[in-house]
Amino acid sequence: MRFLILLLLVPAVSYSSEYNNVTISRLMIDKAYGNKVFVELSTSQVPTAECHQSNGWHYALGLSDSIDEKMYAMLLTLQASGKSARFVGTGRCDLHDKIETLNRVEMK
């Protein structure tokens, strides 16, 4: 019985994905999905977030505040320049139920 109680108290672990030295293959904004941008990277590696089930898009980024807008500007710069970067997700699918939410972009 104690073991069962301990299992219930342990939070579910969600692993965020991380990609290093990859470029952006595609960006998409679609009015049907609201105020967000979808990001596809130049890797065939599938994100590790448990909720992630998309075969194409790696991340979703909301465009609801000034930080999101700055991250979107970085994404546009990276795509236009073809430079590689580091991308890190949140481990959650907050903006789309099958695509991990983008948390960090690091430009070199």
% residues pLDDT > 90 (the chain): 71
Residue predicted with more confidence, 16 or 2: 16
Query: Which residues are CB-contacts of 3 (< 8 A; sequence separation ≥ 6)?
Result: none
Q: What is the pLDDT of residue 6?
A: 44
**pLDDT reading at 35 higher than 60:** yes
In CATH, the number for domain 15-107 is: 2.40.50.110
Give the mean model confidence (pLDDT) for residues 63-76.
97
Report which of 56, 55, 61, 52 is spatially closest to residue 99, judged by C-alpha positions: 52
**pLDDT reading at 13 higher than 70:** no
Dihedral, 63, 66, 69, 74 alpha carbons, nearest 10: -140
Q: What is the pLDDT of residue 2?
A: 55
